A and B are shown apart, each in its own frame.
Chain A
């Protein structure tokens, strides 16, 4: 395995059973994540974008082992995560932490900020000796741009952006190597979003963190990510670096997404690709290529054969997309995105 890779997923699958009737018989499955593989390199940010139901949040939970996968492997620093038990798993959790989307439900309303950020030390007492914990919490508050004096306050006394900072401080308490950010700014106001994005970028540099940055906002993802994976209905449609995804997208879905992103510039002209219909339900995904029901390029083969994620020669490295008719096409002048 590449030494450079800190976290990798191999063919990760998560199906949720759908149970109906009095006896809770399993009548089907929601295919939330359906065969996802990628690698996260040290110090890198991998953005994961997609619309609702694409499985990006489930992916984040699988990488945290908040859910057990139906099949597949996650390897962290050479360790197979899902075969770890008890103490070894707890040790592993120190290295992978998460920042959640909703700043209002991600903090226990009955605990003080000090107790919330200090909880990681209660669970992992070996990280910080008892006497130094309070000081550590103060340092963490300072690190994320909050005043250490507010250690005894409660979450509801802070605004959304500040709460998100508290969530980041809790995630960083154990000095993790990988931070999974699950829509960390989508619940925040525009002017506060930028503050939190800046904070995450600064922390990455200072603490040499690797990020998985899950979001639906393509502009924010582009700003912070080195590489981007586009997901559709549980599968990766396209993955590549910034230029590959934003300037030479080869998957029609990526192209449509880029065409649909509202651009904050009234003078820009671009190709309009308006997709018909909504995203199909992951409980009953279309056959063949999952995008074929909305794709303007779909042919008969797309209804039958699942396209594989294959290397596209146009990119520098690792530009992959899953389409029978992949073809690079520039949608927007990236300078405007």
Chain B
């Protein structure tokens, strides 16, 4: 993979939310890279900052209260954060594009779906109505919407959840983006439909050689489709690794805990090895490693000072843990 072009490079990204009750540090120095044809999964629970990361990359953060307070987002070498808004807008769509969890609220209910897809071509490519509609039909066919020609003038509510998600995908890939960010694309869908959508994303990625960032909380989905995984906790990356390595031998106690808390056959009917405690309150983060109150490996060094930095464990993997030797070696 590494011989491929580096599409996206995020360096030390920082985002905070200034709220009535204080400042929430949603992202605290996140760095990663994405290469062409690669699927990078950002795995995390609610409040881990995974969706905020995506919004910061896209430049669609709700501001206020959200503010990017530091770092770089380099798209093919250009730092997007340093660009003026009108330059940045040109990157959205043909450069980086995004699909969201809730397709129903992401589509405009008063316009036909074909019109909404065609809008992309009219806006960015200056196409006329007929050409744009023809392109829209082509795209709807590409995402396997049956009877696309007849349904191009239908409205979002006339489609099922799975079909709406396909329309969202059609809009996202309309301008042949280089990077596609999918934020929980299948969470709202049924299992059998989820499989269809993940299959579709894979297929489109293979065709176009896109880089795909998949944001999810679902360990199963990640295992099925990702090449590399970045695990987030409390606004930090705690572990990055190739997918097979990560599942086989997690190097961070949080990853390890997550994997152990999934029901397994050999433990059926027994107590699951749950991670204790609660995710931290972003307004009142504990000192030291943010995971230490829930960590069974925690020792004194974990409870004080700065959080441990993300450091290489072996080639191609990194973890942010003072006790990485014990965790990684503990197999």
Give the interface of A toward B (CB within 8 A).
51-52, 159, 161-162, 189-195, 197-198, 201-202, 216, 218-220, 222-224, 242, 256-257, 259-268, 272, 274-279, 294, 334-337
Q: Which of B52-60, B87-95, B193-201 is the contact stretch? A: B193-201
Bound: A268/B247 CA distance, A: 11
Bound: A257/B193 CA distance, A: 10
B224 pairs with A257, CB closer than 8 A = no
A278 pairs with B163, CB closer than 8 A = yes
B274 within 8 A of A: yes
Question: Could you tell me the distance in whole angstroms from the C-beta of B235 to the nearest C-beta in chain A?
Answer: 15
Bound: A195/B243 CA distance, A: 26
Residues of A within 8 A of B264 (CB): 223, 335, 337
Residues of A within 8 A of B267 (CB): 223
B45 pairs with A197, CB closer than 8 A = no
Given A264-B262, A278-B160, A335-B265, verify A194-B220 contact (CB < 8 Å): no
B261 pairs with A337, CB closer than 8 A = no
Residue pairs across A and B with Cβ atoms less than 8 A apart, 28 shown, are A51-B192, A159-B278, A191-B261, A191-B275, A194-B262, A197-B272, A202-B271, A220-B263, A222-B263, A222-B265, A222-B268, A223-B263, A224-B263, A257-B192, A261-B191, A262-B195, A262-B198, A262-B222, A264-B219, A265-B223, A274-B195, A274-B196, A278-B160, A278-B162, A279-B193, A294-B192, A335-B264, A337-B264
Question: Could you tell me the distance in whole angstroms from the C-beta of A15 to the nearest C-beta in chain B?
Answer: 22
Bound: A9/B196 CA distance, A: 35
Encoded as 1 (CB less than 8 Å from any A CB) or 0, chain B from 18 to 39 comes to: 0000000000000000000000
B244 pairs with A267, CB closer than 8 A = yes
- Within 8 Å by CB of A267, from B46, B194, B196, B247, lies B247
Q: B225: nearest residue on chain A (CB-CB)?
A: A262
B252 within 8 A of A: no
Further contacts, 6 of them, CB under 8 A, given A274-B199, A279-B192 = A262-B219, A263-B220, A264-B259, A265-B223, A274-B195, A279-B193
Question: Could you tell me the distance in whole angstroms from the C-beta of A213 to the nearest C-beta in chain B?
Answer: 12
A194 pairs with B273, CB closer than 8 A = yes
Bound: A253/B192 CA distance, A: 10
B269 within 8 A of A: yes
Residues of A within 8 A of B190 (CB): 51-52, 216, 278-279
Question: Could you tell me the distance in whole angstroms from the C-beta of A32 to the nearest C-beta in chain B?
Answer: 16
Question: Could you tell me the distance in whole angstroms from the C-beta of B293 to the nearest C-beta in chain A?
Answer: 13
Q: B43: nearest residue on chain A (CB-CB)?
A: A190
A256 pairs with B274, CB closer than 8 A = no
Question: Could you tell me the distance in whole angstroms from the C-beta of B197 to the nearest C-beta in chain A?
Answer: 10
List B244-269 residues whose CB lies under 8 Å from chain A: 244, 247-248, 257-259, 261-269
B271 pairs with A275, CB closer than 8 A = no
Residues of A within 8 A of B243 (CB): 266
- Within 8 Å by CB of B191, from A189, A220, A260, lies A260
Given A274-B199, A275-B192, A337-B265, verify A262-B45 contact (CB < 8 Å): no
B223 pairs with A335, CB closer than 8 A = no
Question: Could you tell me the distance in whole angstroms from the C-beta of A150 to the nearest C-beta in chain B?
Answer: 13
Question: Could you tell me the distance in whole angstroms from the C-beta of B74 to the nearest C-beta in chain A?
Answer: 29
Range for the number of chain B residues in contact with chain A: 35 or more
Residues of A within 8 A of B262 (CB): 190, 194, 219, 264
B298 within 8 A of A: no
Residues of B within 8 A of A192 (CB): 274, 278
B327 within 8 A of A: no
Residues of A within 8 A of B257 (CB): 191
Bound: A274/B219 CA distance, A: 20
Q: A223: nearest residue on chain B (CB-CB)?
A: B263
Question: Could you tell me the distance in whole angstroms from the C-beta of A192 to the nearest C-beta in chain B?
Answer: 8
Q: B242: nearest residue on chain A (CB-CB)?
A: A266
Q: 9 tightest CB-CB pairs across the interface, nearest first?
A: A262-B220, A223-B263, A194-B274, A194-B261, A51-B190, A189-B45, A260-B195, A278-B160, A194-B272
Question: Could you tell me the distance in whole angstroms from the C-beta of A174 to the nearest C-beta in chain B?
Answer: 26
Residues of B within 8 A of A52 (CB): 161, 190
A278 pairs with B265, CB closer than 8 A = no
Encoded as 1 (CB less than 8 Å from any A CB) or 0, chain B from 208 to 231 comes to: 000000000111111110100000
Bound: A242/B265 CA distance, A: 10
Counting chain A CB atoms within 10 Å of each CB, the highest count among B217, B222, B278 belongs to: B278
B244 pairs with A266, CB closer than 8 A = yes
Question: Could you tell me the distance in whole angstroms from the C-beta of A247 to the nearest C-beta in chain B?
Answer: 10
B191 pairs with A195, CB closer than 8 A = no
Bound: A159/B47 CA distance, A: 12
- Within 8 Å by CB of A189, from B162, B266, B272, B279, lies B279
Question: Could you tell me the distance in whole angstroms from the C-beta of A55 to the nearest C-beta in chain B?
Answer: 14
Residues of A within 8 A of B191 (CB): 51, 216, 218, 257, 260-261
Counting chain A CB atoms within 10 Å of each CB, the highest count among B191, B194, B198 belongs to: B191
B221 pairs with A223, CB closer than 8 A = no
A278 pairs with B258, CB closer than 8 A = no
Question: Could you tell me the distance in whole angstroms from the C-beta of B166 to the nearest C-beta in chain A?
Answer: 10
Q: B200: nearest residue on chain A (CB-CB)?
A: A274
B247 pairs with A266, CB closer than 8 A = yes
Bound: A190/B259 CA distance, A: 9
Residues of A within 8 A of B224 (CB): 262-263, 266
Bound: A165/B195 CA distance, A: 32
Q: B260: nearest residue on chain A (CB-CB)?
A: A194
Residues of B within 8 A of A261 (CB): 191, 220
Bound: A247/B198 CA distance, A: 25
Question: Could you tell me the distance in whole angstroms from the C-beta of A82 to the nearest C-beta in chain B?
Answer: 31
B162 pairs with A263, CB closer than 8 A = no
Question: Could you tell me the distance in whole angstroms from the C-beta of B323 to the nearest C-beta in chain A?
Answer: 19
A190 pairs with B258, CB closer than 8 A = yes
Question: Could you tell me the distance in whole angstroms from the C-beta of B270 to the nearest C-beta in chain A?
Answer: 8
Q: B229: nearest residue on chain A (CB-CB)?
A: A266
B271 pairs with A201, CB closer than 8 A = yes
Bound: A337/B219 CA distance, A: 12
Bound: A144/B323 CA distance, A: 32
Given A223-B263, A257-B192, verify A190-B217 contact (CB < 8 Å): yes
Residues of A within 8 A of B263 (CB): 197, 219-220, 222-224
A189 pairs with B244, CB closer than 8 A = no
